[in-house]
A and B are shown apart, each in its own frame.
Chain A
Amino acid sequence: MAEPTGTMAASSAPASRWLRACLAHPLFWPVLALLLLLAGNGLFHPGFLALQWRDGHLYGNLVDIAHRAAPLALVSLGMTLVIALRGLDISVGAVLAIAATVAAWTIGHAPNHGLLPLALAIAAALATGALCGLWNGWLVTGAGMQPIVATLILMVAGRGIAQSISGGQILTLYYAPYAFLGNGFLLGLPFSLFVVAALFALLQLALRKSALGLFVRAIGHNPLAAHVAGVRARAITLGAYVFCGLTASMAGLLVSSNVSSADANNAGLLLELDAILAVALGGSLLGGGRFSLAGSLLGALIIQALTTTIYAVGVPPQVNLAVKAVLVFAVMLLQSPECRRQARALLRPGAERRA
């Protein structure tokens, strides 16, 4: 997605070189889209971007957007790796529901000693997510099924599994410490932000400080070549699906803790579509190979900012989806190098043709 730097030797001043480097950075366009959205809101609603410090916490729409985007951000991180390996996981919404239900069930049935229910619930939910990811990964690598069909199975059956655990009811949680996950504050900021930041940092460490990132890109670009070169494609792909399941279960913990209940039917509904959209908006190729974790986080923030913008603008509810669609088209066109090239050609009809 890097722009051709052109043959403009005349303007070699540091400022314009810096500007061109900025424009060429793959994250430039997602950042710009997010800033435009926020700025637009700030213009139409004075006070939208205001931040206040109250009761030892930071309050404001910006904090709100980041907090609400946390579950989507977590799932997008997992989805980025799976997509980078030429896979797809459309079961994340169902896995979120299963994990949330398992956590709620565990709290309801755990012995009530201090923080033991919390620890057990977190462990159970994460184990469930890892198991679901293992199942998906085995179907794709072991049974050789196409990822979309393999994960479709869990997507269809998953909510049924969640409902059988909850007995068809929405499980309400009456355990105060659990609410800290989704509603608590640490150092003035919502705890969910720290969860996302920690996972992002861990992932960057694992991908950059080891050969894992290189292997993921190699497998995504050309699986056969990577296999022949000795990369353990199957193990890495399986690991990616397990990680995706883990992130979905973490998101399930955040979501159920936020509303203090677990709804097997509606928790995480359509989350997979938003996650894939976030990954695409962040600049990762949906065909595998090149990926950007930071881009996916930005994509999640963009989607949440979109949702908040729609509510803030105050359109009647039936217009929601149409407005979201128009905004997504606008962001996509902004990010497409082809579109920018054609727009530039339109605006500068006399300019010399580039190859």
Chain B
Amino acid sequence: MNALAQTAVSGAEGSRPWWRRPAYVPLLATLALFVAMAGAGGVLYHGFLSPQVFLNLLIDNAFLCIVAVGMTFVILAGGIDLSVGAVVALSTVLVAELVQHHGWPPLAAIALVLGVGTSFGAAMGVLIQRFRLQPFVVTLAGMFLARGTATLISVDSIDIDQPWLAAVANLRIAVGGGSTLSVGALIALAVVAAGALLAGATPFGRTVYAIGGSESSARMMGLPVDATVVRVYALSGFCAALAGVVYTLYMLSGYSQHALGLELDAIAAVVIGGTVLAGGSGYVTGTLLGVLVLGLIQTLIVFDGELSSWWTRIVIGALLLAFCLLQRLFRAGR
């Protein structure tokens, strides 16, 4: 059940401390598991529990976080967006090409890229809503188109050495105690906050939840279903483009083969964060947790340092399995 329904129910049942509200239990269970995994890492590996390690989770996964926020909205509305990785790659190639080879000022290139991403998403949304095409197929074709366009613009990787972009990429903001965050990580946090507000406190967010719950009921209630669906995909495209900009800063290069498989990581993050793939239920903050969990799994492997490339894959799969099974256990138990 979404936040509104749950608060209505629990409000009627009398006051309950907020952490025991049924709606929040899955989130808290996920958080508890995250803490447990981090604790296990701290026991196993020396230096694991330093603050910078956890801030690095945000720095290294900032682009995934932004993409996952956009993906959350799409999944909440009952759809799916497989094109986000390709849009990220396209954004990196566009920024690199415009700034390095055509001398565009970086901010202008970034503005153009954000516009391209949003229109791309909106176009897919129109196809899905107007012609009743299946989101999976439309966004899959969108993925081919975006990656194809990126390859058309440049087959090879383009390195970025434009001074302003390089300076922003290397900028580290101190957050106390000697720990630092990158610009990308701050953008990611801002996007998560904005997303949570958008989902929980605006008519748009409420409509998204309603559509995910039951599109026909939402339509009968008089909600602007068609416009909202297009906006949701446009939002996902915008987030993908913004993530592309952050990724460009992170890698300081533009390459059509960047972010391969990112869409699956984003979907995994959203689902681990507690959102149901069928739509209608879930939180944006859960997605942030999902991203952190994925990042934590990667960090555990890096700290181990002894796994060959194929054992890495097996261990990632096993950790993912353990996490999801425990999540199911928590949910079934309450």
Q: Among B138, B145, B152, B316, which residue has its beta carbon within 8 angstroms of that of A332?
A: B138
Tell whether A157 is near chain B: CB-to-CB under 8 Å: yes
Residues of B near A332 (CB, < 8 A) are: 133, 137-138, 141
Say whether A164 contacts B131, CB under 8 Å: no
Say whether B145 contacts A163, CB under 8 Å: no
Residues of B near A139 (CB, < 8 A) are: 321
Residues of B near A163 (CB, < 8 A) are: 309-310, 313
Say whether A336 contacts B317, CB under 8 Å: no
B127 to chain A, nearest CB (A): 8
Residues of B near A222 (CB, < 8 A) are: none
The B interface, classified by DSSP as helix, strand, loop or mixed, is helix
Tell whether A56 is near chain B: CB-to-CB under 8 Å: no
Tell whether B168 is near chain A: CB-to-CB under 8 Å: no
| Bound-complex Cα distance A318 to B310 (A) | 30
Q: Among B136, B142, B325, which residue has its beta carbon within 8 angstroms of that of A286?
A: B136
Residues of B near A159 (CB, < 8 A) are: 310, 313
Say whether B328 contacts A145, CB under 8 Å: yes
Tell whether A204 is near chain B: CB-to-CB under 8 Å: no
Return the CB mask of A300-337 against B: 1 if under 8 Å, else 0. Answer: 00000000000000000011111111101100110011
Contact residues of A between 124 and 164, Cβ < 8 Å to B: 139, 143-146, 148-150, 152-164
Given contacts A148-B271, A320-B148, contact A164 B311 (CB under 8 A): yes
Say whether A338 contacts B324, CB under 8 Å: no
| Bound-complex Cα distance A156 to B267 (A) | 14
Residues of B near A339 (CB, < 8 A) are: 131, 133
Residues of A near B141 (CB, < 8 A) are: 325, 328-329, 332
Say whether B145 contacts A153, CB under 8 Å: no
- Identify the stretch in A26-34, A108-116, A189-197, A273-281 within 8 Å (CB) of chain B at 4 or more residues: A273-281
The A interface, classified by DSSP as helix, strand, loop or mixed, is helix
| Bound-complex Cα distance A122 to B312 (A) | 29
Say whether B271 contacts A324, CB under 8 Å: no
Say whether A152 contacts B145, CB under 8 Å: no
Residues of A near B258 (CB, < 8 A) are: none
Residues of B near A325 (CB, < 8 A) are: 141-145, 148
Say whether B152 contacts A160, CB under 8 Å: no
A255 to chain B, nearest CB (A): 20
B246 to chain A, nearest CB (A): 24
| Bound-complex Cα distance A161 to B271 (A) | 24
The 10 closest A-B pairs by CB, nearest first: A157-B317, A322-B148, A160-B313, A321-B148, A163-B310, A325-B145, A325-B144, A160-B314, A160-B310, A328-B141
Q: List 28 A-B contacts (CB under 8 A).
A: A150-B324, A153-B320, A156-B313, A156-B317, A156-B320, A157-B313, A157-B314, A159-B313, A160-B314, A160-B317, A164-B310, A168-B308, A264-B310, A277-B140, A280-B137, A319-B151, A319-B152, A321-B148, A321-B151, A322-B152, A324-B144, A325-B145, A329-B145, A332-B133, A332-B138, A333-B133, A339-B131, A342-B131
Binding site for B on A (CB under 8 A): 90, 139, 143-146, 148-150, 152-164, 168, 264, 273, 276-277, 280-281, 286, 318-326, 328-329, 332-333, 336-339, 342
